[in-house]
Amino acid sequence: MFSLSIRAKLTLWYLVILGSLLFFFSLFLYLTMEKKLKESFDHKLRSTAYVIRSSLMEPFPTGPSLADVERIIREHFGFKPIGRFIQLFDETGKRASNIKDVEIPLSLKTLESLSKGEEVFENVTLKDGTVLRVLSVPIIVNGRMLGVVQVGSPFDQIRETLRELLLVLLILVPLALIGASLGGLFLAEKALRPIAEITKTANMIASGDLSQRIPSTGLPRDEIGNLVNTFNHMIEKLQRSFDQMKRFTADASHELKTPLSVLQSEIEFGLKRPRSPEEYQEILRSCLEEIERMSKILNGLLTLAKADAGAIKLKDEVVDVEEVARSVWKNFFKVAKENGLEFYFEGESVKVRGDKDYLKQLIVNLVDNALKYTPSGGYVRLSTFAQNGVALIEIEDTGEGIPEEDQGKIFDRFFRVDKARSREKGGAGLGLSICKWIVQAHGGEISLKSVPGQGTTFTVRLPLFQGTS
């Protein structure tokens, strides 16, 4: 199916609109000119007729004298009435005309109107095809019609003027449309040039090159400029997403490869020769640890994948954060003691709307991290309180701390400050990513302050519930 380009469509619509405007303007100009010319023509006829009538208001002598009429016209208008038709009737019906062999009779309808003192305009066609515009004016004295003055002139001059105007319009309008079409094509080409750049860049992106951008320097801040900026912003986000996906895939493959390699080596080691039940139990325990590590990684990946797809529906309930935090503190208190750590809890009742289970997972992940990376002899403090209409959860530790250059990446998936030590402690680098998602899903934010060698404080801010449960 034949399809026009946008440039051709814009130019075509531009020509249609401009052509319509020019057509109606030309029609208006022609009709207005015709009306004005006819009004001016009738005015000249009326002036001539009334000058003649005013000079013949006395009763006619034996016959009207056209010589006298010509003299009167010459005195009043300064010219001899050449080309004009003048015809006089007296009260006896005698006629005098300045055009030979031309006789324009007075119709009954015209006489009836003249007898009432009205002037009558008529268009009369002569034998040679000439069309005269004729004005008949009665000569009335003391209420009695003594004669009639007829003045006429051919339409040739008006027709010639209108013909010339029509010829000019027929030449200029098409030329204007041709010039407008060329100008329209040029302007459309200039306006749509960024679209061609977008198409070119999109084709390059489709081939896998996400580093391409459309040049935006020099573009005006109009719809096209906004489109280019939006397109570049979209490609930038796509590139970041693809880069994250590639990194995520590589990290996930690496994280799963390690426990699988350990499983394979443990099983191969156990199958090399017969072993005692105790040795087999040790091998199975090692395999179970790796399986648990893989399960933890896969569960974390599944949670994040569902979160990205919007497949997790959070409960909407009133949750006392202090109550949830206290239960986590009780669960981890013994673990902290076994690791030689002090685990403090300071809480006041603060309520938020959200999902209790996911809020508990948030606090568990943060506390678990704090306990893992705090050396023996240190402490971890879990606090809940309200401040400025916000519910706050703080987890403070005296652990290893996080280098400043890594603090901005700490919530990225699979990111770990010390990968070797994190793997030894069972960390997969997904816990803080899940924490960030839980906080954002509840309309809050999470931040951290850390000094290497002194410790770290994670702060969670959630909208405080103001109603009554």
Q: How far apart are alpha carbons 361 and 246 in whole angstroms?
A: 28
Q: Is there a contact between 378 and 341 (Cβ–Cβ < 8 Å)?
A: yes
- Please indicate, yes or no, if residue 432 is contained in any of the structural domains: yes
Task: Enter the pTM of the model.
Answer: 0.51
Same domain, 18 and 116: yes
Residues 426, 372: Cα–Cα separation, whole Å: 9
CA distance between the termini of the chain: 65
Quickly list DSSP for 388-433.
Answer: TTEEEEEEEE-S----HHHHTTTTSTT--SSHHHHHHTT--S-HHH
DSSP codes joined into one string, 203-239:
HHHHTT-TT-----TT--SSHHHHHHHHHHHHHHHHH
193 is a domain residue: no
pLDDT of residue 15: 86
Total number of residues shown for the chain: 469
Is residue 149 included in any domain, yes or no? yes
116 and 245 belong to one structural domain: no
Residues 294 and 408 in one domain: no
Shared-domain flag, residues 342 and 426: yes
Here the CATH number for the domain that contains residue 278 is: 1.10.287.130
pLDDT in tens, 6-48: 778 878 888 889 889 999 999 999 999 999 999 998 998 888 8
Distance CA 64, CA 57 (A): 12
**What per-residue confidence (pLDDT) applies to 225?**
74
pLDDT given at position 63: 46
pLDDT digits (tens, 9 = 90+) for 53-72: 877 665 544 444 555 555 55
Please give the mean pLDDT across all residues of the chain: 81
Classify residue 200: in a domain, yes or no.
no
Q: 31 and 91: one domain?
A: yes
Q: How many domains does the chain have?
A: 3
From residue 212, give the alpha-carbon distance in Å to each of 200, 219, 232, 247, 362.
10, 17, 9, 20, 39
The rounded radius of gyration (Å) of the Cα atoms in the chain is 52
Name the band, by pLDDT with cuts 50, 70 and 90, for residue 329: very high
Helix %, strand %, coil % of the chain (to 5): 55, 20, 25
Q: Is the pLDDT of residue 422 over 50?
A: no
Of 100-114, 156-170, 228-242, 405-419, the range with the highest mean pLDDT is 156-170
Which residue range forms the structural domain that includes residue 31? 6-160
Question: How many CB atoms are located within 10 Å of the residue 126 CB?
Answer: 15
**Same domain, residue pair 287 and 351:** no
CATH of the domain at 106: 3.30.450.20
Q: What is the pLDDT confidence band of residue 364, given thresholds at 50, 70 and 90?
A: very high
Please name the residue that has the structure tokens 């569960």.
299
